[in-house]
């Protein structure tokens, strides 16, 4: 059984829907998930959980031209100065196709660059959600969860 920490920020609630769906699905496969909506915790508490977990996920929507969601910014700033060498990480990104192609779900490359820059290891492909997450709850999200849990189990995480 792996312990997964899922840190997320949301403005309109979409990322929370995805975070909860991922959490429920991964728990159904027998793993432990701690969900942290970032603004509800002190940064010290968040980093204490990061130390303890086997895999850290960060879920974030994309806002104007590659801006990160407001509540995540202090956390990501602190993270960029930390050493996460060897920490297993996965990114979940949300966005909408109506925005400039270059910035469509730009939260994924932004987070991945930040994480690899502090030495973290990206262990599984990101989950990308474009548009209303409710339309992905039946297929795309469960498929990704299944493949992610297969990876966890085969890798012995």
Number of residues this chain uses to bind ligand FMN (CB under 6 A):
19
Note whether 22 binds ligand FMN by CB under 6 A: no
Strand pairing of 67-68 and 55-63? antiparallel
Q: Is 63 in the site for ligand FMN (CB under 6 A)?
A: yes
**Interaction between residue 96 and ligand FMN (CB under 6 A):** yes
Cβ–Cβ < 8 Å for 90, 122: yes
37: contact with ligand FMN by CB under 6 A: no
Per CB under 6 A, 23 contacts ligand FMN:
no
Query: In the complex, what is the shortest distance from the CB of residue 18 to ligand FMN, in angstroms, rounded to a whole number?
Result: 8
Q: Among residues 56, 76, 105, 152, which is the contact residue for ligand FMN, using CB under 6 A?
A: 105
Residues that bind ligand FMN (CB under 6 A): 10-15, 61-65, 94-96, 99, 103-106
């Amino acid at each position: 059984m792996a312990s997964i920490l899922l840190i997320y920020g949301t403005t309109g609630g979409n990322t929370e829907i995805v975070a909860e769906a991922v959490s429920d699905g991964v728990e159904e496969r027998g793993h432990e998930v701690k969900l942290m909506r970032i603004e509800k915790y002190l940064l010290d508490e968040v980093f204490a959980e990061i130390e303890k977990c086997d895999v850290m996920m960060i879920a974030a929507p994309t806002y104007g031209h590659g801006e990160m969601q407001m509540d995540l910014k202090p956390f990501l700033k602190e993270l960029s100065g930390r050493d996460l060498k060897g920490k297993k990480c996965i990114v979940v990104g949300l966005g909408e196709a109506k925005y400039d192609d270059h910035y469509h779900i730009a939260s994924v490359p932004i987070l991945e660059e930040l994480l690899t820059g502090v030495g973290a290891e990206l262990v599984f492909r990101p989950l990308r959600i474009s548009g209303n997450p409710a339309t992905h709850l039946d297929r795309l999200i469960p498929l990704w969860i299944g493949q992610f849990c297969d990876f966890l189990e085969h890798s012995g995480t």
